Chain A
Amino acid sequence: MVEIINARAARGEILPRSQNHVYQNIRDFLVMEHEGAVVACGAMHVLWRDLGEIRALAAAPEAPEGCEEAIVRALLEEGRRLGLARIFAFTYFPDFYMSLGFVQAPRESLPRVAWRECIDCVKFPACDETTVVIDL
Protein backbone atom coordinates (compact mmCIF):
# COMPACT_ATOMS: atom_id res chain seq x y z
CA MET A 1 0.00 0.00 0.00
CA VAL A 2 2.74 2.43 0.97
CA GLU A 3 4.54 1.85 -2.33
CA ILE A 4 1.38 2.33 -4.38
CA ILE A 5 0.37 5.46 -2.46
CA ASN A 6 3.79 7.04 -2.62
CA ALA A 7 4.19 6.31 -6.32
CA ARG A 8 1.03 8.33 -6.92
CA ALA A 9 2.19 10.96 -4.43
CA ALA A 10 5.46 11.30 -6.37
CA ARG A 11 3.34 12.44 -9.32
CA GLY A 12 1.87 15.12 -7.07
CA GLU A 13 -1.62 13.63 -7.23
CA ILE A 14 -2.09 12.73 -3.55
CA LEU A 15 -0.22 13.19 -0.28
CA PRO A 16 2.59 10.78 0.59
CA ARG A 17 2.08 8.49 3.59
CA SER A 18 4.67 7.00 5.94
CA GLN A 19 4.68 3.33 6.86
CA ASN A 20 3.93 4.43 10.40
CA HIS A 21 0.83 6.30 9.25
CA VAL A 22 -0.43 3.34 7.25
CA TYR A 23 0.18 0.85 10.05
CA GLN A 24 -1.48 3.01 12.67
CA ASN A 25 -4.47 3.64 10.42
CA ILE A 26 -4.59 0.23 8.77
CA ARG A 27 -8.22 -0.24 9.72
CA ASP A 28 -9.10 2.75 7.55
CA PHE A 29 -7.89 0.93 4.45
CA LEU A 30 -9.30 -1.38 1.85
CA VAL A 31 -7.12 -3.10 -0.69
CA MET A 32 -7.86 -4.56 -4.08
CA GLU A 33 -6.17 -7.83 -4.81
CA HIS A 34 -5.51 -8.89 -8.38
CA GLU A 35 -3.85 -12.21 -9.13
CA GLY A 36 -2.71 -12.49 -5.52
CA ALA A 37 -1.08 -9.07 -5.29
CA VAL A 38 -2.32 -5.80 -3.82
CA VAL A 39 -2.79 -3.48 -6.81
CA ALA A 40 -4.84 -0.64 -5.34
CA CYS A 41 -5.93 0.79 -2.02
CA GLY A 42 -7.90 3.56 -0.42
CA ALA A 43 -8.76 4.75 3.08
CA MET A 44 -11.78 6.25 4.80
CA HIS A 45 -10.90 8.03 8.00
CA VAL A 46 -13.53 8.89 10.59
CA LEU A 47 -13.13 12.48 11.79
CA TRP A 48 -16.22 12.98 13.92
CA ARG A 49 -19.66 11.53 14.53
CA ASP A 50 -21.04 12.62 11.16
CA LEU A 51 -17.94 13.03 9.03
CA GLY A 52 -15.45 10.83 7.23
CA GLU A 53 -12.72 11.54 4.69
CA ILE A 54 -11.48 9.51 1.74
CA ARG A 55 -7.71 9.45 1.63
CA ALA A 56 -4.80 7.75 -0.02
CA LEU A 57 -6.68 6.41 -3.03
CA ALA A 58 -4.12 4.91 -5.38
CA ALA A 59 -3.71 2.14 -7.92
CA ALA A 60 -0.63 0.45 -9.36
CA PRO A 61 -0.16 0.56 -13.15
CA GLU A 62 -1.22 -3.09 -13.44
CA ALA A 63 -4.50 -2.53 -11.58
CA PRO A 64 -7.64 -3.30 -13.57
CA GLU A 65 -9.75 -0.51 -15.02
CA GLY A 66 -12.33 0.90 -12.61
CA CYS A 67 -10.61 -0.29 -9.47
CA GLU A 68 -10.49 3.15 -7.84
CA GLU A 69 -14.21 3.53 -8.39
CA ALA A 70 -14.82 0.12 -6.80
CA ILE A 71 -12.70 1.08 -3.81
CA VAL A 72 -14.50 4.40 -3.28
CA ARG A 73 -17.86 2.62 -3.46
CA ALA A 74 -16.71 0.10 -0.87
CA LEU A 75 -15.41 2.91 1.37
CA LEU A 76 -18.79 4.67 1.14
CA GLU A 77 -20.42 1.41 2.14
CA GLU A 78 -18.07 1.27 5.12
CA GLY A 79 -19.13 4.84 5.96
CA ARG A 80 -22.77 3.76 5.96
CA ARG A 81 -22.01 0.77 8.16
CA LEU A 82 -20.31 3.04 10.68
CA GLY A 83 -23.26 5.43 10.62
CA LEU A 84 -21.56 8.45 9.02
CA ALA A 85 -23.77 11.09 7.44
CA ARG A 86 -21.23 12.71 5.12
CA ILE A 87 -17.95 11.86 3.47
CA PHE A 88 -15.60 14.31 1.82
CA ALA A 89 -12.34 14.27 -0.10
CA PHE A 90 -9.75 16.83 -1.05
CA THR A 91 -8.74 16.03 -4.61
CA TYR A 92 -7.22 17.15 -7.91
CA PHE A 93 -9.74 14.91 -9.66
CA PRO A 94 -13.19 16.28 -8.80
CA ASP A 95 -14.72 14.82 -11.98
CA PHE A 96 -13.86 11.33 -10.81
CA TYR A 97 -15.66 11.88 -7.51
CA MET A 98 -18.59 13.69 -9.13
CA SER A 99 -19.16 10.65 -11.36
CA LEU A 100 -19.69 8.73 -8.10
CA GLY A 101 -22.28 11.16 -6.74
CA PHE A 102 -20.06 13.62 -4.87
CA VAL A 103 -20.67 17.35 -5.30
CA GLN A 104 -18.17 20.17 -5.12
CA ALA A 105 -18.35 22.28 -1.98
CA PRO A 106 -16.51 25.31 -0.68
CA ARG A 107 -13.67 24.13 1.54
CA GLU A 108 -14.92 26.49 4.23
CA SER A 109 -18.23 24.61 4.42
CA LEU A 110 -16.47 21.71 6.13
CA PRO A 111 -16.23 21.70 9.92
CA ARG A 112 -12.90 22.62 11.44
CA VAL A 113 -12.08 19.01 12.32
CA ALA A 114 -11.53 18.48 8.59
CA TRP A 115 -8.48 20.73 8.84
CA ARG A 116 -6.78 18.72 11.48
CA GLU A 117 -4.41 17.04 9.04
CA CYS A 118 -4.10 20.06 6.79
CA ILE A 119 -1.90 22.09 9.09
CA ASP A 120 0.77 19.39 8.86
CA CYS A 121 0.53 19.29 5.07
CA VAL A 122 3.47 20.54 3.03
CA LYS A 123 1.02 22.56 0.95
CA PHE A 124 -0.68 24.33 3.86
CA PRO A 125 -2.04 27.01 3.60
CA ALA A 126 -1.73 27.24 -0.19
CA CYS A 127 -3.93 24.21 -0.86
CA ASP A 128 -5.11 23.93 -4.45
CA GLU A 129 -7.19 20.78 -4.10
CA THR A 130 -10.93 20.74 -4.72
CA THR A 131 -13.33 19.75 -1.96
CA VAL A 132 -15.97 17.16 -2.84
CA VAL A 133 -18.64 15.82 -0.49
CA ILE A 134 -21.34 13.19 -0.56
CA ASP A 135 -24.23 12.77 1.86
CA LEU A 136 -24.92 9.15 2.71
Chain B
Amino acid sequence: MVKTERALQGADGTLAPAEASAVIVRPAVVADVEAMAELINTFAARGEMLPKSLNQVYQNVRDFVVAEQGGRMIGCGALHVLWGNLGEIRSLAVEEPSRRRGIGSRIVRALLSEARQLGLPQVFALTYKPRFFQALGFRVVDRELLPRKIWVDCIDCVRFPQCDEVAVILDLEVTT
Protein backbone atom coordinates (compact mmCIF):
# COMPACT_ATOMS: atom_id res chain seq x y z
CA MET B 1 0.00 0.00 0.00
CA VAL B 2 1.33 3.40 -0.95
CA LYS B 3 0.47 5.97 1.68
CA THR B 4 0.41 9.62 0.78
CA GLU B 5 1.69 11.97 3.42
CA ARG B 6 -0.81 14.56 2.42
CA ALA B 7 -4.52 14.08 2.84
CA LEU B 8 -5.75 17.47 3.89
CA GLN B 9 -8.60 17.60 1.45
CA GLY B 10 -11.06 15.80 3.71
CA ALA B 11 -11.30 18.51 6.34
CA ASP B 12 -11.45 21.64 4.25
CA GLY B 13 -10.42 21.04 0.71
CA THR B 14 -13.08 19.05 -1.05
CA LEU B 15 -16.00 21.34 -0.42
CA ALA B 16 -17.53 22.13 -3.76
CA PRO B 17 -17.25 25.81 -4.67
CA ALA B 18 -21.01 25.83 -5.31
CA GLU B 19 -21.90 28.79 -3.14
CA ALA B 20 -20.04 31.84 -4.30
CA SER B 21 -20.00 33.17 -0.75
CA ALA B 22 -18.40 30.15 0.90
CA VAL B 23 -14.72 30.44 1.72
CA ILE B 24 -12.84 27.20 1.22
CA VAL B 25 -9.32 26.43 2.37
CA ARG B 26 -7.54 23.84 0.26
CA PRO B 27 -4.02 22.70 -0.65
CA ALA B 28 -2.44 24.88 -3.34
CA VAL B 29 -1.84 23.68 -6.91
CA VAL B 30 0.59 25.13 -9.44
CA ALA B 31 -2.15 27.27 -11.01
CA ASP B 32 -2.35 29.19 -7.70
CA VAL B 33 1.31 30.13 -7.60
CA GLU B 34 1.27 33.41 -9.53
CA ALA B 35 -1.65 34.77 -7.52
CA MET B 36 -0.02 33.66 -4.26
CA ALA B 37 3.30 35.29 -5.14
CA GLU B 38 1.49 38.49 -6.07
CA LEU B 39 -0.47 38.58 -2.82
CA ILE B 40 2.64 37.83 -0.72
CA ASN B 41 4.74 40.39 -2.53
CA THR B 42 2.10 43.10 -2.18
CA PHE B 43 2.44 42.80 1.60
CA ALA B 44 6.19 42.30 1.34
CA ALA B 45 6.46 45.63 -0.49
CA ARG B 46 4.96 47.25 2.62
CA GLY B 47 7.44 45.48 4.84
CA GLU B 48 4.79 43.24 6.43
CA MET B 49 6.35 39.94 5.37
CA LEU B 50 9.23 38.54 3.36
CA PRO B 51 9.05 38.61 -0.43
CA LYS B 52 8.96 35.28 -2.31
CA SER B 53 10.09 34.62 -5.85
CA LEU B 54 7.93 32.58 -8.21
CA ASN B 55 10.70 30.00 -8.07
CA GLN B 56 10.46 29.75 -4.29
CA VAL B 57 6.70 29.37 -4.39
CA TYR B 58 6.75 26.75 -7.16
CA GLN B 59 9.45 24.70 -5.49
CA ASN B 60 7.56 24.76 -2.20
CA VAL B 61 4.03 24.66 -3.62
CA ARG B 62 3.09 21.73 -1.39
CA ASP B 63 3.81 23.85 1.69
CA PHE B 64 0.91 26.13 0.77
CA VAL B 65 -2.81 26.21 1.36
CA VAL B 66 -5.05 28.81 -0.25
CA ALA B 67 -8.32 30.38 0.86
CA GLU B 68 -10.68 30.76 -2.05
CA GLN B 69 -14.04 32.41 -2.46
CA GLY B 70 -16.13 32.17 -5.61
CA GLY B 71 -13.13 30.74 -7.45
CA ARG B 72 -10.90 33.65 -6.46
CA MET B 73 -7.89 33.35 -4.17
CA ILE B 74 -8.21 35.65 -1.18
CA GLY B 75 -5.49 34.31 1.08
CA CYS B 76 -2.66 31.84 1.47
CA GLY B 77 -0.19 30.47 3.95
CA ALA B 78 2.58 27.89 4.11
CA LEU B 79 3.92 25.32 6.54
CA HIS B 80 7.55 24.48 5.91
CA VAL B 81 9.19 21.50 7.58
CA LEU B 82 12.63 22.36 8.95
CA TRP B 83 13.50 19.19 10.79
CA GLY B 84 11.78 16.21 12.35
CA ASN B 85 10.65 18.23 15.33
CA LEU B 86 9.98 21.67 13.88
CA GLY B 87 7.82 23.37 11.30
CA GLU B 88 7.45 27.05 10.44
CA ILE B 89 4.40 28.99 9.32
CA ARG B 90 5.39 31.33 6.51
CA SER B 91 3.88 33.70 3.99
CA LEU B 92 0.50 34.05 5.70
CA ALA B 93 -1.42 36.64 3.69
CA VAL B 94 -5.09 37.59 3.39
CA GLU B 95 -6.18 40.27 0.95
CA GLU B 96 -7.24 43.54 2.56
CA PRO B 97 -11.01 43.42 1.79
CA SER B 98 -11.26 39.91 3.28
CA ARG B 99 -9.62 40.74 6.60
CA ARG B 100 -11.34 40.39 9.99
CA ARG B 101 -13.39 37.44 8.82
CA GLY B 102 -11.31 34.74 10.48
CA ILE B 103 -9.75 33.63 7.20
CA GLY B 104 -6.18 33.90 8.48
CA SER B 105 -7.15 31.75 11.46
CA ARG B 106 -8.69 29.14 9.19
CA ILE B 107 -5.52 29.05 7.11
CA VAL B 108 -3.35 28.61 10.20
CA ARG B 109 -5.64 25.90 11.57
CA ALA B 110 -5.41 24.03 8.25
CA LEU B 111 -1.62 24.30 8.39
CA LEU B 112 -1.55 23.06 11.99
CA SER B 113 -3.69 20.13 10.99
CA GLU B 114 -1.12 19.30 8.32
CA ALA B 115 1.65 19.64 10.88
CA ARG B 116 -0.11 17.06 13.05
CA GLN B 117 -0.47 14.72 10.09
CA LEU B 118 3.21 15.12 9.32
CA GLY B 119 4.04 14.32 12.95
CA LEU B 120 5.62 17.66 13.87
CA PRO B 121 5.62 18.35 17.62
CA GLN B 122 6.31 22.11 17.34
CA VAL B 123 5.40 24.86 14.92
CA PHE B 124 6.75 28.39 15.12
CA ALA B 125 6.39 31.64 13.24
CA LEU B 126 8.28 34.91 13.07
CA THR B 127 5.67 37.62 12.91
CA TYR B 128 4.74 41.26 13.40
CA LYS B 129 1.34 40.13 14.68
CA PRO B 130 2.05 38.01 17.75
CA ARG B 131 -1.45 38.59 19.12
CA PHE B 132 -3.02 36.94 16.12
CA PHE B 133 -0.96 33.83 16.78
CA GLN B 134 -1.50 34.02 20.55
CA ALA B 135 -5.24 33.87 19.95
CA LEU B 136 -4.58 30.53 18.22
CA GLY B 137 -2.66 29.15 21.20
CA PHE B 138 0.89 30.13 20.27
CA ARG B 139 3.13 31.62 22.94
CA VAL B 140 5.72 34.32 22.48
CA VAL B 141 9.28 33.08 22.98
CA ASP B 142 12.71 34.63 22.90
CA ARG B 143 13.95 34.28 19.35
CA GLU B 144 17.32 33.20 20.64
CA LEU B 145 15.74 30.11 22.17
CA LEU B 146 14.67 28.72 18.81
CA PRO B 147 16.91 26.00 17.40
CA ARG B 148 19.85 27.19 15.33
CA LYS B 149 18.36 25.37 12.38
CA ILE B 150 16.01 28.27 11.69
CA TRP B 151 18.86 30.70 11.13
CA VAL B 152 19.88 28.87 7.98
CA ASP B 153 17.00 30.68 6.31
CA CYS B 154 17.37 33.85 8.33
CA ILE B 155 20.90 34.57 7.13
CA ASP B 156 19.56 34.89 3.59
CA CYS B 157 16.91 37.39 4.69
CA VAL B 158 17.24 40.98 3.56
CA ARG B 159 16.66 42.06 7.16
CA PHE B 160 19.31 39.87 8.75
CA PRO B 161 20.62 40.53 11.38
CA GLN B 162 18.28 43.44 12.17
CA CYS B 163 15.19 41.27 12.57
CA ASP B 164 12.38 42.89 14.53
CA GLU B 165 9.84 40.11 14.21
CA VAL B 166 8.50 38.28 17.23
CA ALA B 167 8.90 34.53 17.59
CA VAL B 168 5.78 32.57 18.51
CA ILE B 169 5.63 28.85 19.05
CA LEU B 170 2.99 26.17 19.55
CA ASP B 171 3.37 22.64 20.88
CA LEU B 172 1.23 20.12 19.08
CA GLU B 173 -0.10 16.86 20.32
CA VAL B 174 1.26 14.41 17.84
CA THR B 175 -1.11 11.59 17.10
CA THR B 176 0.74 9.83 14.28
A positions within 8 Å CB-CB of B: 20, 23-24, 26-33, 45-50, 70-71, 74, 78, 81-84, 113
Contacts and interface: CB of A to CB of B under 8 A. Distances in A.
Nearest to A33: B3
B80 A74 contact: no
B82 A24 contact: yes
Contact of B5 (A20, A27, A50, A71): A27
Nearest to B153: A24
A46 to B, nearest CB: 5
A47 to B, nearest CB: 7
Contacts of B29: 81-83
Interface stretch (B42-50, B58-66, B129-137, B161-169): B58-66
Given A49-B58, A83-B29, A27 B63 contact: yes
Contact of B81 (A23, A81, A82): A23
Contact of A71 (B2, B34, B83): B2
B58 A82 contact: no
B55 interface: yes
A19 to B, nearest CB: 8
